[in-house]
Amino acid sequence: MSKPVPIPLEDAQARLLQLAGPLPVERVDVEGAIGRYLAEPIAARRTQPAADLSAMDGYAVAADDLAGPWQVVGESAAGHPFGGRLAAGQAVRIATGAIVPADAQAIILQEDIARQGDSLRLTGDPPVPPHKHIRPMGVDFAVGGQVLAAGVKLGPAQGALAISAGHKHVPVRAMPKVAVIDSGDELAAEPDCCAPHQIPASNGAMLAAMARTLPCRVTRIGPVADTMEALAAALDAARDADVVVTSGGASVGDHDLIKPALAAWGAEIDFWRVAIKPGKPILVATREQAGRRQIVLGLPGNPVSSHVTAYFFMLPLLRTLLGAARPLPLRFRVRLAAPIKANGARREFPRGTWDGEAVLPHSLQDSAALAALSASNVLIDRPAHAPRAEAGEEVHAFLLENGGLA
């Protein structure tokens, strides 16, 4: 393959995601489905609250009887409603979450009441408006109404909502099978047994860990030598994977064999080279097999390039297979804590540390520098030919942690 012109990031992402159809639907119990994406919208099977509930501990009275005094004639506790009727001058002791009796429309806080035996006297202010401390029936959701859309990630809150809406199981996509292959003659499988001419094979563990932030089944293969035979055996071991992720050998050197090895395996290159730094040599290929499509991501071997391309391509691809409505990472605007130099012709993603206020670009931006990557929590987005930016100026950035990876 002659060297193609690198394509813009968003075009490359769109091309990749277009190759991926969501995986089949399965029904999973809600707790087991946390972290996955809803394959279909979810409608409420019940109304919440199912009746008017008190939002505070106090006394339930009629809305036209707010001045008191009152006699306590019963109690409505959570799970134990008051079954009787209320006449003028009567009140019901009520707990937070308990059903408001049929004849009551107001809750007086217990802090605003003096109680002696069953006699109550108002000492504070009555509620304004009278229904202030009442959660009306159906205020959260009503039976039949949609509570969650297709493609939404089922996080803790969404899982709680599905349960509250009466669902024991939810429809989600099958978990993708991911095979991660690291390749290179210089790679040592054991980090504590690494000769001077070797480097510990760290990309496989890193890429697998990134994939495992999403619900998928990851197989690690390698490290694999830079030979066609070794790569063929590794790819054969990945024959059942939905997604094959390789690292290393994606560039133009004599030992960069990923492209010919993929061709020999029957995979077709969709695109190679994206106009980003780090990560330019990334390639995407597909292999059609028994009516199903495998997608191959050939990531560059430099550890930071591998990480950045996994962030911009592997994770969005896995989210798409899982049925996510929004597979791409979100960008936000942030102030620079220090100046950043003018950018070259390739869109660059310098690593930096954001402290919640401003982002400090790391002094070392080498695409092999794992220590600098590890000390960073954002990727700053520097457009091609961006001029020098001063401290205090705003730039765009992508979050690598605190949910940015997910």
Ligand X SMILES: Nc1nc2c(c(=O)[nH]1)N[C@H]1C(S)=C(S)[C@@H](COP(=O)(O)OP(=O)(O)OC[C@H]3O[C@@H](n4cnc5c(N)ncnc54)[C@H](O)[C@@H]3O)O[C@H]1N2
Question: For binding to ligand X (CB under 6 A), which residues are involved?
Answer: 182, 184, 186-187, 199, 201-204, 247-253, 256, 278, 280-281, 300-303, 305, 367-368
Is residue 277 near ligand MOO by the rule CB under 6 A? yes
Position 176: which residue type?
P
Q: Which residue is nearest to ligand X (CB)?
A: 301
Is residue 158 near ligand MOO by the rule CB under 6 A? no
The helix (run of H) or strand (run of E) holding residue 75 is strand 70-76
What are the structure tokens assigned to 23, written together? 């995986």
Q: Give 68 or 281: the residue with its C-beta nearer to ligand X.
A: 281
Burial category of 43 from C-beta neighbours within 10 Å (exposed 0-12, middle 13-18, buried 19 and up):
middle
Stretch that binds ligand MOO, among 128-136, 188-196, 274-282, 375-383 (CB under 6 A): 274-282
DSSP 341: P
Q: Which residues pair with 268 in a beta bridge?
A: 286
Is residue 286 near ligand MOO by the rule CB under 6 A? no
Q: Give 95 or 269: the residue with its C-beta nearer to ligand X.
A: 269
Q: Give 325 or 371: the residue with its C-beta nearer to ligand MOO.
A: 371
Is residue 367 near ligand MOO by the rule CB under 6 A? yes
Q: Give 209 or 325: the residue with its C-beta nearer to ligand X.
A: 209
Cα(121)–Cα(239) distance, integer angstroms: 77
Q: How far is the CB of 240 from ligand X (least distance, A)?
A: 22
Q: Give 54 or 246: the residue with its C-beta nearer to ligand X.
A: 246
Stretch that binds ligand MOO, among 13-21, 86-94, 271-279, 398-406 (CB under 6 A): 271-279
What are the structure tokens assigned to 264, written together? 């020999």
Cα(334)–Cα(383) distance, integer angstroms: 15
Q: What is the size of the binding site for ligand MOO (CB under 6 A)?
A: 8
Within 86-213, strands assigned E span 90-94, 106-109, 113-116, 119-122, 134-135, 146-148, 169-173, 177-183, 187-188, 199-200
Query: Which of the listed partners (ligand X, ligand MOO, none) does 251 bind, with a CB threshold of 5 to 8 Å by partner kind?
Result: ligand X
What are the structure tokens assigned to 354, written together? 């954001």
Residue pair 274/9 in contact by the 8 Å Cβ criterion: yes
Query: Which of the listed partners (ligand X, ligand MOO, none) does 285 bind, with a CB threshold of 5 to 8 Å by partner kind?
Result: none
Cα(39)–Cα(130) distance, integer angstroms: 43
Please report, for residues 51, 108, 135, 232, 355, the alpha-carbon distance to residue 132 in angstroms, rounded to integers and kept in the order given: 16, 10, 8, 70, 40
- Helix 258-265 and helix 228-237, axial crossing angle in degrees, nearest 10: 50
Is residue 13 near ligand MOO by the rule CB under 6 A? no
Binding-site member from 13, 54, 90, 305 for ligand MOO (CB under 6 A): 305
Q: Give 187 or 340: the residue with its C-beta nearer to ligand X.
A: 187
Q: How far is the CB of 280 from ligand X (least distance, A)?
A: 4
Q: How far is the CB of 146 from ligand MOO (least distance, A)?
A: 43
Q: How far is the CB of 256 from ligand MOO (least distance, A)?
A: 13
Helices and strands of the chain, counted as H and E runs: 8, 27
Q: 93 in helix, strand or coil?
A: strand
Query: Which of the listed partners (ligand X, ligand MOO, none) does 158 bind, with a CB threshold of 5 to 8 Å by partner kind?
Result: none
Residue pair 332/399 in contact by the 8 Å Cβ criterion: yes
Cα(104)–Cα(92) distance, integer angstroms: 9
Residue pair 266/235 in contact by the 8 Å Cβ criterion: no
Q: How far is the CB of 302 from ligand MOO (least distance, A)?
A: 4
Q: Give 126 or 298: the residue with its C-beta nearer to ligand X.
A: 298
Query: Which of the listed partners (ligand X, ligand MOO, none) does 248 bind, with a CB threshold of 5 to 8 Å by partner kind?
Result: ligand X
Q: How far is the CB of 183 from ligand MOO (least distance, A)?
A: 16
Is residue 47 near ligand MOO by the rule CB under 6 A? no
Is residue 302 near ligand MOO by the rule CB under 6 A? yes
Is residue 259 near ligand MOO by the rule CB under 6 A? no
Q: How far is the CB of 210 from ligand MOO (least distance, A)?
A: 16
Binding-site member from 300, 316, 323, 404 for ligand MOO (CB under 6 A): 300
**What is the β-pairing status of strands 53-54 and 70-76?**
unpaired
Is residue 280 near ligand MOO by the rule CB under 6 A? yes
DSSP 47: -
Cα(52)–Cα(63) distance, integer angstroms: 14
Residues in contact with ligand MOO by CB under 6 A are: 277-280, 300, 302, 305, 367
